[in-house]
Structure 1
Amino acid sequence: MGPAVGPAKQAAGAPHAVDRLAALLADDLAAVDVLIHQHMASPVGVIPNLAAHLIDAGGKRIRPLITLAAARLLGGGGDGARKLATAVEFVHSATLLHDDVVDLSNMRRGKKAANLIWGNSASVLVGDFLFARSFTLMVETGDIQVLDILSRAACVIAEGEVMQLAAANDAETTRERYLDIIAAKTAALFAAAGKAGAVVAGRPGAEASALETYGRELGLAFQLVDDALDYGGLSATMGKNAGDDFREGKVTLPLVFAREAGDESERTFWRRVISGERTDDDFHRAVALIRRHDGIALTLQAARDHAARAKQALEILPTNAYREALADLPDFVVERAY
């Protein structure tokens, strides 16, 4: 059985949800772009060159868009929100640089990974530089609560990456442990992006909590779709190679579903390949087993459930163009799989 039919596809030529949100926030986004390039500047040439290789590679900047939209939705915005959105993008970029070193990745956003060009040491150190820049920007907002939100998120993200590293090559990783990992390594920054946008707009109460929930649920949906695509997507649209999770020994939800439903011979197969003992044909068998047990379809259904919760979290917020644009994002995240 293939994946269930997803949401209606975007009409040909029509802008998708991220483009519509970016158009709504065009002035803010342009200012963030200026801030990004100002703050990744350094007399040490490898720093701006390596950082630009990743940051200018065409990422959709969903996380800073959430921060900007959250602030505008609640009547805020301006310089503080723009600095905060830039900080969010730097935290995200830093984690990507570090991830690619840990995962031995060779592609990121459709380009050769930075660590393959400049080396692992330079990638880690430039990631550290971007983390440091993000904290400079947080301090410049003058809001200690914002600093608390994003600094806590940075710690949780690092914990999630260590949790994932500890779970690598463990075929017995449970569904609960997997969800804990993605809640930390992916959803935490989405949640912080939404909450911090509300706080910088002067709305630290129920509205901030709602936007935090929105971000967390959106982040979970985003990662679940990514994990499904790893067993059925195209590198041209993913920006990385299909099968990377499998080759890195990561246990993601499609695999968990297949392992739980499989017989003992199939579980033996999973233990062998996830431990690192793989042949050239094993990825094709893995995909076949996952499809046999509806692993992709079940993962995408879980993504749709989280996307629905993200949209529901917005219901207490003021109705305006920014809320409507944020409400479209969860559908876009799920539509990537179709």
Structure 2
Amino acid sequence: MGLDEAAQKPHDRLAAWLADDMAAVNALIRTRMASEHAPRIPEVTAHLVEAGGKRLRPMLTLAAARMCGYQGENHVKLAATVEFIHTATLLHDDVVDESERRRGRPTANLLWDNKSSVLVGDYLFARSFQLMVETQSLRVMDILANASAVIAEGEVLQLTAAQDLGTTEGIYLQVIRGKTAALFAAAMEVGGVIATVPEAQVQALRAYGDALGIAFQIVDDLLDYGGTDAAIGKNTGDDFRERKLTLPVIKAVARADAEERAFWQRTIEKGDQRDGDLAQAMAIMARHGAMAAARDEALHWAETARRSLDILPAHELRDMLSDLADYVVARIN
């Protein structure tokens, strides 16, 4: 089940509450992704930005700012900044992963080419920095620039850890903290910063985003082995075919006997995959309770996210964010 599947889910309630702000964000995105001299830029960007994505990250920025009483306009610029950073990383990721589907549609690198995807991603990163500069807040720029660096670092770490059966859960956590949670955390944090709330509340917002992002990525990794193509926006089993060591596989490898370890060495380390291997991988994970154990970790991080909100002022947006943490994990029920 996707985050945007049915009405009255936490994501939908957030979208309804923030509808006017999101309309402003979408208008700003359309304006800033234009290019007078390179029409391929808006073509490629529109393919991804307008593909019906959840817009979760920019909504976190808007929700944090509004929950903290912000009344200005910079939250719209920062939400657009966050979405541009996210879209740029998706364009780059699909090239690195040689992906063919994103949000249920052919990827930009498949429809155009790798060069276009990389260069348009670079353009969106540049646009994101222009937007954050317009807020005239050095702290905001520091937070988002740092997040951009951490995201890239996480992707490189994942590249070097891939296909290595020695990859630990600690390394996995470091990877997903970089590639996913860093932007969730920054999206929340900048909302509090521009609202000038006490530092303890700013850090609580950041902690919520960090924990939510970790739970979100663990669930996405679980759905790759048990979700529908429509729900995850890619083909089930893509992570296995791409030889990614995600949490359920890492847990299964750690508990493997000699025969199972040989299977993982053949399929993940050597890339020798045959018909029936995906089903066997899932059977091995089930045998060792790896999926259930990974789900327990996602539940832990969702609870951590909810607890982080406790010191923030009472607000219906805070309740929605708390419910969102629950719902992120409920997708794998």
Give TM-score, length-normalised by structure 1: 0.95
Aligned-pair identity (%): 55
Aligned to 1:82: 76
Tell me, yes or no, if structure 1 residue 18 matches structure 2 residue 18. Answer: no
Aligned to 1:314: 309
Partner Cα separation in structure 2 for residue 269 and residue 34 of structure 1: 50
Contact 1:41 1:48 in 2 (8 A): yes
* Structure 2 stretches lacking a partner, 5+ long: none
Contact 1:169 1:251 in 2 (8 A): yes
Aligned to 2:290: 295
Aligned to 2:280: 285
Tell me, yes or no, if structure 1 residue 216 matches structure 2 residue 210. Answer: yes
Deviation for aligned residue 1:13: 6.1
Contact 1:41 1:47 in 2 (8 A): yes
Partner Cα separation in structure 2 for residue 79 and residue 73 of structure 1: 14
Partner Cα separation in structure 2 for residue 54 and residue 204 of structure 1: 37
Aligned to 2:262: 268
Partner Cα separation in structure 1 for residue 317 and residue 7 of structure 2: 19
Contact 1:217 1:310 in 2 (8 A): yes
Deviation readout 1:29-86 (Å, 9 max, x if unpaired): 0000000100001121110010010011111111111100100111114310000000
Tell me, yes or no, if structure 1 residue 28 matches structure 2 residue 21. Answer: yes
Counterparts of 1:148-297 in structure 2 under 5 Å? 148-203=142-197, 205-275=199-269, 276-297=271-292
Once the two structures are overlaid, the 10-residue window that deviates more, 144-153 or 163-172, is 163-172
Deviation for aligned residue 1:144: 0.9
Contact 1:221 1:303 in 2 (8 A): yes
Deviation readout 1:237-271 (Å, 9 max, x if unpaired): 11011111111111011001111122111011111
Aligned to 1:332: 327
Deviation for aligned residue 1:203: 2.1
Aligned to 1:38: 31
Report the CA distance shift for 1:188/1:77 in structure 2 as closer, same or farther (over 3 A). farther
Deviation readout 1:289-317 (Å, 9 max, x if unpaired): 11111111111110010000000000000
Partner Cα separation in structure 2 for residue 304 and residue 141 of structure 1: 36
Contact 1:173 1:251 in 2 (8 A): yes
Aligned to 2:101: 107
The alignment's C-alpha RMSD in Å is: 1.3
Deviation for aligned residue 1:175: 0.9
Partner Cα separation in structure 1 for residue 7 and residue 57 of structure 2: 22
Partner Cα separation in structure 1 for residue 151 and residue 94 of structure 2: 15
Give TM-score, length-normalised by structure 2: 0.96
Deviation readout 1:307-332 (Å, 9 max, x if unpaired): 00000000000001111111111111
* Structure 1 stretches lacking a partner, 5+ long: 1-9
| 1:285 partner amino acid | Q
Partner Cα separation in structure 1 for residue 312 and residue 286 of structure 2: 40
Report which structure shows greater RCO (CA 8 Å, sep ≥6). Answer: 1
Deviation readout 1:115-152 (Å, 9 max, x if unpaired): 00110000000000110000000001111100000000
| 1:123 partner amino acid | S
Once the two structures are overlaid, the 10-residue window that deviates more, 122-131 or 272-281, is 272-281
| Local SS of the residue matching 1:241 | coil
Deviation for aligned residue 1:14: 4.4
Partner Cα separation in structure 2 for residue 236 and residue 269 of structure 1: 29
Report the CA distance shift for 1:246/1:86 in structure 2 as closer, same or farther (over 3 A). same
Deviation for aligned residue 1:280: 2.2
| Local SS of the residue matching 2:301 | helix
Aligned to 1:130: 124
Deviation for aligned residue 1:167: 0.9
Partner Cα separation in structure 1 for residue 71 and residue 291 of structure 2: 39
Contact 1:168 1:248 in 2 (8 A): no
